[in-house]
Amino acid sequence: MQTHDLLIEIGTEELPPKQLQTLIQAFATNIQSELNNKALAHGQIKCFATPRRLALLIENVVAEQESRTVEKRGPTLKAAYDAQGNATIACLGFANACGVTLDELEVRKTDQGSWLFFTSSYVGQSTSALLPEILVSALSRLPIPKPMRWGSHAAAFIRPIHWVVLMLDDKLVRANIFEQKTVKHTYGHRFHHPEAINIPHAQSYETLLKKEGYVIPDYHERRQIIDQQVQEIAKKHKGKATVDASLLDEVTNLVEWPVALLGKFDPSFLELPPEVIATSLKTHQKSFSVADDRGQTLPYFITISNIESKDPQRVISGNERVIRARLSDAKFFYEADLKHTLTQDLERTKNVIFQKQLGSLFEKAKRISMLSHYLAEQLNISSAQGKEIAEAGLLSKADLMTNMVAEFPELQGTIGYYYAKNDGLSDDIATAIKTHYQPRFAGDALPHTTAGALVSVADKIDTLTGLFGVNQPPTGEKDPFGLRRAAIGVLRTLVEKKLPVDLFALLHASVEQYGNILDNPQTEQQTFAFMMERLRAWYADKGVASEIISAVLAKSPTQPLDLHERIQAVQHFQRLPEAKALAAANKRVSRILKDQKQIGEKPLNINLSESPAEHQLITLVKEKTKEIEPLYQTGKYTEMLTSLATLQTPVDHFFDQVMVMTDDRVLRQHRLSILYQLQQLFLRVADISLLAS
Distant-in-sequence, close-in-space partners of 573: CB < 8 Å, separation ≥ 6? 579, 638, 641, 642, 645, 688
What is the C-alpha separation between 456 and 438, in angstroms, rounded?
7
Contact (CB, 8 A) for 415 and 399? yes
pLDDT for residue 683: 87
What is the C-alpha separation between 166 and 5, in angstroms, rounded?
11
Q: Within 10 A of 592 (CB to CB), how many other CB atoms are there?
A: 17
Domains, the chain = 3-65+126-211 (3.30.70), 68-122 (no CATH), 219-337 (no CATH), 349-543 (1.10.3210), 574-690 (1.10.730.10)
pLDDT for residue 390: 97
Residue 663 has pLDDT above 90, yes or no: no
For the segment 197-202, the average pLDDT, to the nearest whole number, is 97
Residue 469 has pLDDT above 80, yes or no: yes
What one-character-per-residue DSSP string does 284-328 give?
HH--EEEE-TTSPEEEEEEEEESS--S-HHHHHHHHHHHHHHHHH
pLDDT for residue 475: 86
What is the C-alpha separation between 116 and 269, in angstroms, rounded?
86
What sections of 286-435 are H helices per DSSP?
312-337, 342-348, 361-378, 383-395, 403-407, 414-422, 427-435
Residue 602 has pLDDT above 90, yes or no: no
Residue 206 has pLDDT above 80, yes or no: yes
Poorest-pLDDT segment among 66-80, 136-150, 443-457, 497-511:
66-80
What is the C-alpha separation between 215 and 189, in angstroms, rounded?
6
What is the C-alpha separation between 558 and 560, in angstroms, rounded?
6
Residue 600 has pLDDT above 70, yes or no: no
Residues of the chain with pLDDT > 70, as a percent, come to: 99
What is the C-alpha separation between 142 and 124, in angstroms, rounded?
28
Q: Give, in order, the Cα–Cα distances in Å from 155 to each of 50, 140, 316, 574.
A: 22, 10, 40, 59
What is the C-alpha separation between 621 and 616, in angstroms, rounded?
9
Q: Say if strands 180-183 and 161-168 run parallel, antiparallel, or are unpaired.
A: parallel
**Confidence bin at 35 (pLDDT 50/70/90):** very high
Q: Give, in order, the Cα–Cα distances in Å from 177 to each of 158, 172, 180, 463, 491.
A: 14, 13, 5, 49, 50
What is the C-alpha separation between 388 and 376, in angstroms, rounded?
10
Q: Give 540-549 contacts, CB < 8 A, sequence gap 24+.
A: 544/571, 545/574, 547/690, 547/691, 547/692, 548/574, 548/686, 548/691
Buried b (16+ CB within 10 A) or exposed e, 29-39: ebbeebbeebe
DSSP H or E segment with residue 485? helix 483-496
pLDDT for residue 67: 80
Residue 83 has pLDDT above 90, yes or no: no
For the segment 551-573, the average pLDDT, to the nearest whole number, is 94
Q: Give, in order, the Cα–Cα distances in Å from 478 to each of 66, 392, 433, 481, 482.
A: 44, 31, 29, 9, 9
What sections of 5-126 are H helices per DSSP?
20-37, 77-80, 89-98
pLDDT for residue 599: 66
523 HSE (CA, 13 A, CB side): 29
Contact (CB, 8 A) for 650 and 620? yes
Q: Which residue has the higher pLDDT, 349 or 78?
A: 349
Contact (CB, 8 A) for 188 and 195? yes
Angle 427-435/450-469 helices, nearest 10 degrees?
Answer: 40
Chain-wide mean pLDDT for the chain? 92
For the segment 153-159, the average pLDDT, to the nearest whole number, is 88
Buried b (16+ CB within 10 A) or exposed e, 359-390: bebbbbbbbbbbbbbbbbebeebeeeebebbb
The pLDDT tens digits of the residues spanning 285-303 come to: 999 999 998 999 999 999 9
Residue 693 has pLDDT above 60, yes or no: no
What one-character-per-residue DSSP string does 486-517 give?
HHHHHHHHHHHTT----HHHHHHHHHHHTTT-
For the segment 537-566, the average pLDDT, to the nearest whole number, is 93
What one-character-per-residue DSSP string does 437-455 give?
T---STTPPPPSSHHHHHH
- First-to-last alpha carbon distance for the chain, in angstroms, is 48
**Confidence bin at 598 (pLDDT 50/70/90):** low
What is the C-alpha separation between 584 and 655, in angstroms, rounded?
12
Amino acid at 38: K
For the segment 342-364, the average pLDDT, to the nearest whole number, is 95
CA 184 to chain centre: 40
Q: Within 10 A of 434 (CB to CB), how many other CB atoms are there?
A: 25
Residue 659 has pLDDT above 90, yes or no: no
Query: Could you tell me which of 636, 618, 629 has the C-alpha nearest to residue 677?
Result: 618
Record the pTM. Answer: 0.81
The pLDDT tens digits of the residues spanning 305-335 come to: 999 999 999 999 999 999 999 999 999 999 9
Tell me the torsion sign for CA atoms 637, 642, 644, 648: positive
Phi-psi region of 681 (alpha: psi -120 to 50; beta: other; left: phi over 0): alpha
**Confidence bin at 512 (pLDDT 50/70/90):** very high
Contact (CB, 8 A) for 299 and 277? no
Contact (CB, 8 A) for 586 and 679? yes
The pLDDT tens digits of the residues spanning 356-394 come to: 999 999 999 999 999 999 999 999 999 999 999 999 999
The pLDDT tens digits of the residues spanning 164-182 come to: 999 999 999 999 999 899 9
pLDDT for residue 325: 97
Q: Which residues pair with 64 in a beta bridge?
A: 126
